[in-house]
């Protein structure tokens, strides 16, 4: 029974990823370059999520982990790019009231990256 529930949930995630990928591709084709640049990390995340679930369904553990890492790299690079732009904007406009919030976000993102990519090996 539990395997059947996992199978149904995995197929639902695959279908969701396919629908999301179609919407993102359509949106990027209908708009200009700036929108395409904005959509690209989400498209990469969607494709990685799709392959992660396909590999999970096929019981390919190493490929599932690789797809998950690609997903994490894409979402973290997007967040890091946003924070770098926020710091640039703060410095450029000399609006230092938001620097504490951005620095807290940088610390949280650093912790999440450390937790995702640099896990301690357990025996």
Over the stretch 44-84, which tens digit does the pLDDT of each residue have?
A: 999 999 999 999 999 899 999 999 999 999 899 989 988 99
In a domain, 27, yes or no: yes
Average pLDDT over residues 90-98: 87
Determine the pLDDT at residue 52.
Answer: 93
In a domain, 98, yes or no: yes
Please state the pTM of the whole predicted model. 0.76
In a domain, 32, yes or no: yes
Radius of gyration of the chain from Cα atoms?
18
In a domain, 21, yes or no: yes
Determine the pLDDT at residue 1.
Answer: 61
Residue 96 has pLDDT above 90, yes or no: no
In a domain, 8, yes or no: yes
In a domain, 122, yes or no: no
Question: Could you tell me if 46 and 10 are in contact, meaning their C-beta atoms sit under 8 angstroms apart?
Answer: no
- Residue 77 lies in domain: 2-117
- The candidate with the shortest Cα–Cα distance to 77, out of 51, 116, 103, is 116
- The candidate with the shortest Cα–Cα distance to 14, out of 57, 71, 70, 63, is 57
- The band of 35, judged by pLDDT with boundaries at 50, 70 and 90, is confident
Average pLDDT over residues 105-110: 92
In the chain, the percentage of residues whose pLDDT exceeds 70 is 97
- The domain tally of the chain equals 1
Give the whole-angstrom CA distance, residue 18 versus residue 92: 40
């Amino acid at each position: 029974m539990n395997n059947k529930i996992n199978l149904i949930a995995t197929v639902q995630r695959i279908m969701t990823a396919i629908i999301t990928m179609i919407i993102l591709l359509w949106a990027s084709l209908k708009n200009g370059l700036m929108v395409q640049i904005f959509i690209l990390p989400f498209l990469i995340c969607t494709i990685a999520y799709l392959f992660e679930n396909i590999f999970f369904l096929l019981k390919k553990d190493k490929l599932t982990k690789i797809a998950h890492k690609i997903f994490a790299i894409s979402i973290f690079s997007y967040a890091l790019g946003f924070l770098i732009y926020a710091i640039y904007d703060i410095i450029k406009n000399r609006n230092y009231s938001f620097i504490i919030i951005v620095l807290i976000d940088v610390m949280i993102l650093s912790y999440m990256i450390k937790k995702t990519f640099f896990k301690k090996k357990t025996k």
